[in-house]
Amino acid sequence: MAIQRFAVEEARRAGLDRSEDFLALSEMATNAQLIETLFLKEIKEKTKLKERAVHVRHIVLRVKDFRIDKGKTRPLSPAELEQERNATMARAGEIIARLEKGESFEELAKKYSEDSSKKKGGDIGFIVEDMMPPEYSRVAFSLKKGSYSKDPVFARGAVYIIMAVDDKLLSERNIEKLIKDKMQVSR
């Protein structure tokens, strides 16, 4: 800190604090501080978070979009991709049929899901509408507590079976209690 103070004094003696570049940078820094202050005062303090959130479990089945041919990866043709998507949708339909017979969503997620949530029985926690693709959110937010999608949902190269575990209204008071993942809270 002492070195910084010494450097500032030397810069002032040399007249650097009166140069056009310094004055322009100083004005930009001042403007940035004013904008930050305005944001904190007008937006953050006056805006109240109230957003519907759904606690979701899902089973994810990836649609493979490539084939390994003679040791090389090649993308699928549109017809092959459609065939792969249909096969994945059929697999999802079989899982839904098992759910209809009373099998546990959690156990089926652990067995069949192809994402990291499988370890937790497909539990991804609470989501707000814009966190997921629109096709996914539309279904998740239409489900009643404890119900699952009767039809598979295709979004962003994967097929999903979605279950609504719970439904809450998020606010500043409960967001950190409901959403355990700090990265998710900040989003």
Residue pLDDT tens, the chain, 187 long:
677 776 667 767 777 777 777 666 667 777 777 777 776 666 555 556 678 889 999 999 999 998 888 889 999 999 999 999 999 999 999 999 999 999 999 999 999 999 999 999 999 988 888 889 999 999 999 999 999 999 999 999 999 999 999 998 877 676 666 665 555 545 5
Which DSSP symbol is given to 150? S
Structure tokens at 37: 């202050």
Decide the pairing of beta strands 51-62 and 158-170. antiparallel
Q: What does DSSP say about strands 158-170 and 153-155: parallel, antiparallel, or unpaired?
A: antiparallel
Q: How far apart are CA 23 and CA 162, in angstroms?
A: 57
Half-sphere exposure of 135 (CA within 13 A, CB side): 11
User: Does the predicted model carry a pTM greater than 0.85?
Assistant: no
* Residue of 55, 29, 43, 51 whose CA lies nearest to 148: 55
How far is the C-alpha of 125 from the C-alpha of 56, rounded, in Å?
6
CA angle (146 as vertex; 140, 149 as ends), nearest 5: 45
